[in-house]
Every structure is written in structure tokens, then in C-alpha cells.
Structure 1
Amino acid sequence: MTELDKICTVLDKLTLDALTLMEEEIQIKLNVENAMCGGETHLAKSRYILGQNSVSSLQLPTENSPDFDAVTTVVGEDDEELFGQKARTLEVVKNEEQIDPVRWFGYLVPQDLYHSQSMFKQALQWIIRAVNVQTRLIETCGKIEQLKELKKELLVAK
């Protein structure tokens, strides 16, 4: 097996990997859309049940509110440097000491508000997964481009 055949075989495998990653990314984005729509629907139901002013931006913290930290934050870990760019992997870090943001809307809130919160949390998980898949896809496409250049050089050298 010649060097050119090896490069072509690796290119084929990387191209299939890229197509698989594209399909996965599309599926994840559909899941994000479904989770967001579900969260918005449950939020609208909560607003209908409690009244239009009970679930609105008036209940959100303002500049004069006491300081608070986010319940969930997303952090990126630098992976190895590939093709002149640092690859990052995102993950969720939970802050257990925080008050549940649903409490901003009262203590006796409808279940739909909790369902909405869980749908938005699920959407966040899907978004993080989509970013990680997209990062892998970019890395794979970079490898493909490098191998194409190498293949081109080998063909010119012959």
C-alpha cells in the first residue's frame, strides 16, 4: 500500500466521521429547539395560571437586588492545540448554594414553572453538547484539509 493510498483511506474515514458529526449536530439542534419550545410553552402556561404580572420581568432581580451567583455556569477546558487553534470542551458546573430561581415568582408556583425550568436546563445541556460536536467537526475538517494538501503535494511530486 503506497503513501497515497494510505492518505486516501484516512481521508475517506475522516469524511465519514465529518458526515456523522454533521448528522449528530443537526439532531442535537432539533433537540434544542424542542426543549426551548417546551420550556416556552410551560412558561406561558404558568403565566396564564398565575396572571400576566406574576410571571414577568418584574420578578427578575434588578441592579438594586441583593447579589447572587448563577445556579449553573458553563466552563471550558482547554484541550491540546490543534491546527493553530486551541480546542475547548464545555461542561456544566452547578452551584448548590443558590436559591432556586423559581422562588423569585413565589413559593406556591404551578408545576408548569418547574417543568419550564427543567426544559430550559435540558436545552442548556443540548447546547453544550452541540458546541462540543461542532468543535470536533471543525477539528475533523481541519485534518481533512491538511491531508488534501499533503495528497496534492504527493500527486505533484509524481
Structure 2
Amino acid sequence: MDENELEKICDTLDRLTLDALTLIQEEIELKVNAENAMIGGETHLAKTRYILGQNSVSSLQLPSENSSEFEALTVVHSSTDDFGSKRFDLESYKPDNEVYMNPIKWFGFMPPQNLHFAQNLYRQALQWIVQAANVQTKLEETCVQIKQLQGLKRKLTTTKS
């Protein structure tokens, strides 16, 4: 191993470290956006509860064991590529029949606009959370590469000495 290979490893380590810092920043921004969307959704739920009364928006409207079966409108799928990288994707369905029922209908036939706003904010938060999970996966892969290159660099420097 010569000096040129050690320099290439150091350059790659620098690039990967910068990539990791960029991914950390992106993950933080996505999580902050998701948190803000969740807070906004909770605020709109509270407004809806205030408008309709505390018993109109409560856990009593949620399905129980005796409720009819239904499927979620949005499902998170995970997949692994040929290199072992994990990826998360959202799949959304339209509420067109009894199987895919819009959960907003649990709160009445004509729910207030605030309930629609809350639903949209929660959907946006879910999208940001899935994006953050994908960024976190990339970050973990980058950290593994950094550790591998650091080990190779240590080997090169110890055998050189």
C-alpha cells in the first residue's frame, strides 16, 4: 500500500463525513416538520372537540372489537434492495367502499373543517416520518462505510510504521 491509497481513503472519509452531517441535518429538519404537523393536527382536533363537544370527538368514535373490518387508507411498506439497503414507502388508497373507509366518517356525516385540517396535517406528518426513516437508513449505511474505512486506514498506518 502506498501513500496514494492512504490519501484516497482520507478523501473518501472526508466526503462520507460531510455526507453524514448533511444527512443528520436533513433528518432533524424532517423530524421538526413532522413534530410541527403533529402539533397542528392536535390543535385542530382540540378545536373540533370544542366545536362539537367533548363527547363528539373522543375514543368512543374509534372502532372497537365489535366494529366491522376495514383496511387502512395509508400503509407503510418496507423493502430491501440487492445491497441490503432498507427503504420505506407509503401506499395510499382512496376511500371508495366499505373496505377502505375514511376514518373521518367515524365522527359524523358532515365533520367540521378543523377535522379535515387535522387529517391532512397527520398525513403530512406521516410522509415526513417515512422520509426521515429513509434518511436515517442512509445515515446508518454511511456510518458503517466510515467505520470500515477507518479500520482500513488504521491497518495501513500501522503496517507502514
Relative to the length of structure 1, the TM-score reads 0.95
CA drift of 1:46 comes to: 0.4
Deviation sequence 1:67-122 (CA, Å, 0-9, x none): 011111000111234xxxx3210011112241211001001111000000000000
Other-structure match for 2:22: 20
Contact 2:71 2:101 in 1 (8 A): no
Greater share of strand: 1
Runs of 4+ with >6 A deviation: none
Aligned-pair CA distance for 1:43: 0.5
Q: Which residue of 2 aligns with 1:91?
A: 89
Gaps of 5+ in 2: none
SS class of match (2:141): helix
- 1:4-153 maps to which residues of 2 (within 5 A)? 4-81=6-83, 86-96=84-94, 97=96, 98-153=100-155
Describe the SS at the equivalent of 1:55.
Answer: coil
| 1:120-147 residue CA offsets vs partner (Å, 9 max, x unmatched) | 0000000000000000000000000000
The size of the alignment, in residue pairs, is: 154
SS at match of 2:87: strand
Unaligned 5+ runs, structure 1: none
CA RMSD of aligned residues (A): 1.0
Q: In the aligned structure 2, how far is the partner of 1:36 from the partner of 1:87?
A: 28
Q: Give, in whole Å, the separation in 1 of the partners of 2:141 and 2:119.
A: 33
Q: Aligned residues: percent identity?
A: 55
Q: Which residue of 1 aligns with 2:158?
A: 156
Q: Distance in 1 between matches of 2:82 and 2:39?
A: 36
Normalised by the length of structure 2, the TM-score is: 0.93
